[in-house]
Structure 1
Amino acid sequence: MQGYNVLMIYNKEMDKLLMCERLKDPYKGLSNLVGGKIENGEPGIEAAYRELLEETNISNKDITLHHVMDFAYHIQNCYVEVYAGRLNRDVAVTGDENILYWSDLDRNFFDMSLYAGEGNIGHMIEQVELVKERLFSDKDSLV
């Protein structure tokens, strides 16, 4: 089963989420979260930090990622690990795979004409919202 990750990266103030405009299929032209493939034998958390650095120039010194949920797609023979993190300092994000931007959180992330993932982005944001006080304490660790 092929593994992928998706990364919910919040700014330091927790009022913006890092998004990308997809430049290729699937979801070309739609907004999405950053992420990528988990290589065979690679631990999921290592893949998450690797993809984050490759796609955004954000390193593990800038953020602590938390594994918050998974999605399994048995018919497509793949799974997606979802990680969330809050920047601990301002970082200039750069990448050439997709167009990166910071999105306000008051958007309708369930709008499939604008966002990839068949509504999953909205679902993931709602789930993180339920636990953000525990997840993102001042020390950015689980309580």
Structure 2
Amino acid sequence: MQGYNVIMVYNNTLDRLLMCKRIKDPYKGLSNLVGGKIEAGEAGLDSAYRELFEETSISREDITLHHLMDFTYYYQHCYVEVYVGKLRRDVEISGDENPLYWSELTPDFFDMSLYAGEGNIGHMVAQVNMYKDAVLRD
């Protein structure tokens, strides 16, 4: 079973969420969270930090990630580990995989015409809102 990660990055004032605009399928043209493939033998958290740095230039020194939840897709033979964190300070984001942007927290993240993941992003944001004090600490 192949593993993937998804990383929810909140800015240091907790009023923006880092998103990317998908340039290829699946979900071409839709907004998504950053993340990627967990390599064979790689720990999930290490993979999340690696993917985060590769896609955004955000390093371990900039953020502490917390394991929020997992999704297992048995028919697709994969699982997704979800991590969340708050930036310690303003950082310059840059990446060449998908265009990055900071989203306000007011959109309907369940809107599948705008966001990837069949509503999962909305669910993840709702979970962070429920457990904000625990998951958005340094």
| Number of the residue aligned with 1:78 | 78
1:19-98 residue pairs with structure 2 within 5 A? 19-98=19-98
Q: Secondary structure at the match of 1:67?
A: strand
Q: Quick check: 1:104 aligned with 2:104?
A: yes
Q: Which has the higher strand share?
A: 1
Q: Secondary structure at the match of 1:111?
A: coil
* TM, length-normalised to structure 2: 0.99
Q: What CA distance in whole angstroms lies between the structure 1 residues aligned with 2:136 and 2:21?
A: 26
Give CA-to-partner distance per residue, 1:89-121, whole Å, 9 cap, x none.
100100010010000000000000000000000
| Number of the residue aligned with 1:117 | 117
**Unaligned ranges ≥5, structure 1:** none
Whether contact under 8 Å (2:112, 2:118) holds in the other structure is yes
Give CA-to-partner distance per residue, 1:53-82, whole Å, 9 cap, x none.
000000000000000100000010000000
Q: Quick check: 1:126 aligned with 2:126?
A: yes
Aligned residues: 138
**Unaligned ranges ≥5, structure 2:** none
Q: Output the aligned Cα RMSD.
A: 0.6
Deviation, 1:133, is 1.4
Q: What CA distance in whole angstroms lies between the structure 2 residues aligned with 1:4 and 1:135?
A: 20
Q: Which structure 1 residue ranges, 4+ long, deviate > 4 Å from structure 2?
A: none
Q: Secondary structure at the match of 1:64?
A: coil
